Amino acid sequence: MAASGCASYDRPDNLGLVAEGRDYQAQWREPEVSRANAQFLRSPAINAQSCRAPLGGGDGKGSGLAAASLRGERLTRGDLLDIRVEQDETFNGSYEVSRDGTIRLPFLDAIPAQGRTVDEIEDRLAAALIAEEFYGDRPRISVRVLDLAPVSVGVSGAVFEPHRIEVGALGADQRDGVRISAMGASTEARNLSAALRAAGGVRPDADISAIELRRGGQLYKLDMRGVFEGENVVDVMLVTGDEIRVPSRQDGPFDLVLLDFNMPQMAGLSGLERLLARPEQPRVALISGEARREVAEKALAMGACGFIPKTLTARRLVNAVRFMAMGEVYAPLEFMSGPETRELHPLAEKLSRREQQVAKGLTEGKSNKEIARDLDLQEPTIKLHVKTLYRKIGASNRTQAALIAREVGLA
């Protein structure tokens, strides 16, 4: 580590500051090589001449670490391991990472496992066996992950739902016993990208080239652009206790804020009320694909500068945004004066548009993979939507969720 607190690596040639330009793509010039050939998760911020202060203040000394040290499967409390030691049944068996982040084998001191890889566990176990004189030379050791526990992490910053979330939890119907026995547990559901999706996704102003991950007192800055652009790059596996912050590329004020009526945790019009009460008094327009005319009228009465139904054409949407940004109030005449649409069941109103689409897939008996293909999403994303759907409608399994979805008119 350099004394300044910046990473000691040389600044990569494919990154460079642009003197001017507010557009996201103008902040950093495009690499001359493909991202697949670039060094692992090399964020521009971590390799700059000066480092930003760590989350919570301070001068940043010693806080910025190279993200390459996060590579690989990381263990956390509750993970289940299969351990095999050559020619000795004494230590063979399944072990769970305990609440204190260690694994305990017979006759050996506890081995730290929280945040470590299986390779590191193998090395530490070999060293312990030699130190206790069970072996003179390093024995052959195999450590496999049989099952991954869900992790609890905090997500804040430029995401739609900043809060502490749990990712990686799978129901009994989502586990594939044959695959786990043969290959070990899948790590996809515990990746950083899964946590960001579970937090409602990143906002348009999010700077995903410098996402901050705090783990064990250390601050890492990660360039996740490749992950979200569909490129074949390595994601980062999370452990319980991680804190994630997505920085914003601009702090405002904004000319116009478009607020989705069904945005999770915004509780309908209460989200609009909170935004309108902010000191900077932003201009806020409500956008929705399901809200009735009554909701639009209430939003305008509260002080919203407009209401945009999602059925609006792209050209009319652009014109409406320009109109409201100029200080005018917008609401389409045909929507405000047309006949009322049928009311949704109270349970259906709790669901986002995407969750309603997933619920419809369940009523059709489709698997997560089939729903993901229909909606052009990744299967882990569908799993997270299904879990949220269960909680919102009070279902405990797919069959029950499908029955409830039919009852509320989502079939």
Residue listed under structure tokens 């586990």:
175
* Residues 83/143, Cβ–Cβ less than 8 Å: yes
Q: Which CATH architecture has domain 257-337?
A: 3-Layer(aba) Sandwich (3.40)
Burial (CB count <10 Å: 0-12, 13-18, 19+), residue 169:
middle
CATH of domain 346-407: 1.10.10.10
Q: Write out the E strands in 252-295.
A: 257-260, 284-288
What is the reported pTM?
A: 0.42
In the chain, where are the structural domains located?
A: 80-147, 151-180+187-246, 257-337, 346-407
Cis peptide before 253 (omega within 30 of 0): yes
Assigned CATH class of 151-180+187-246: alpha beta
CATH 3.30.1490.20 corresponds to the domain 80-147: no
**CA distances in angstroms from 241 to 64, 218, 326, listed in the order given:** 18, 12, 45
For the chain, 411 residues long, give each residue's pLDDT as a single digit of tens. Answer: 323 333 333 333 333 333 333 333 333 333 443 444 444 333 443 333 333 333 333 333 333 444 556 767 789 888 899 999 988 888 999 999 988 889 999 999 999 999 899 999 999 999 999 999 888 899 999 999 888 888 888 888 888 778 888 887 655 444 455 344 434 455 567 888 888 888 888 887 788 888 999 988 888 888 888 766 666 566 788 888 899 999 887 655 678 888 888 765 555 688 888 888 877 788 899 988 776 788 889 999 999 999 998 878 888 889 999 999 888 999 888 777 765 555 556 677 778 888 888 988 888 888 999 999 888 889 989 999 999 889 888 888 988 888 888 777 765
